[in-house]
Amino acid sequence: MKGVQILGFKKSGKTALCEALLAYFSQRGLAPCALKCTHNPGLDKEDTDTDRFLPHCRAVGAIAGGESALFWNAPRTMPEMISLLAGEVLVVEGGREHALMPRVLVLRDAQEAAKLSDPGLVLGVFGPVAAPGLPHIKTFEELARLVLEKGFVLPGLDCGACGRTSCAGLAADILAGRAGPQDCATQNAPMTVTVAGRALALNPFVARILTSGIRGLLAELKGFGAGPIEIHIE
């Protein structure tokens, strides 16, 4: 999945930019998906049945004629939310505390750049206001091209198996050209697990534990031998 994070303070135009990117990718036959991060205490569900049910539940789902939603009665991490989204290009609005993908800043004032992000995680600044030391993306078409060329989404495990202390460190190295998304250690784990067609992110340590445990159990069965193991569970 390609991914980009749009950061900006209130009234900076970040929501409009996210909407424009999603429409652009959709019109070109891609499958975009979106995630909005907000510091507001709740979402817009006031005076609905969902609002009445949620205080009594850990999670509440809703299905309507033209849309569906799932609400949890607690915050979830960005990696958990991304795992529920299906698409080829992910556009995230906000969430600067989560450093899993390149960032594009939308500024009202150049001084805001330092408050929004570490420079090493910034793909560029979009819009009329530029920031010293950061690439200035001047056209929407250039921005869309950069997202498809340089966008990525890391799993957010912060396992350290890639040699960095966090996924943010690897993200910065990828943007600087010192590494690539394939350097994420989860890409080289000794086993893969998919649930409903979606791959789970496994750091190498967890993957080795699961692999050893499964091999050990199966080794006690008649007919077990060397070779790749495939297990399918409905």
Q: How many CB atoms lie within 10 A of CB 192?
A: 11
**What pLDDT does residue 115 have?**
96
Q: What are the sequence ranges of the domains in the chain?
A: 2-43+76-153
Q: How many CB atoms lie within 10 A of CB 155?
A: 20
pLDDT in tens, 86-105: 889 999 999 999 999 999 99
**What pLDDT does residue 70 have?**
87
Nearest CA to 158 out of 216, 98, 85, 117 is that of 98
- As a CATH number, domain 2-43+76-153 is 3.40.50.300
Q: Which helix (H) or strand (E) holds 122?
A: strand 122-126
**What pLDDT does residue 193 have?**
83
**What pLDDT does residue 137 have?**
97
**What pLDDT does residue 114 have?**
96
Whole-model pTM?
Answer: 0.86
**What pLDDT does residue 207 have?**
86
Parts of the chain with a pLDDT under 70: 45
**What pLDDT does residue 60 have?**
87
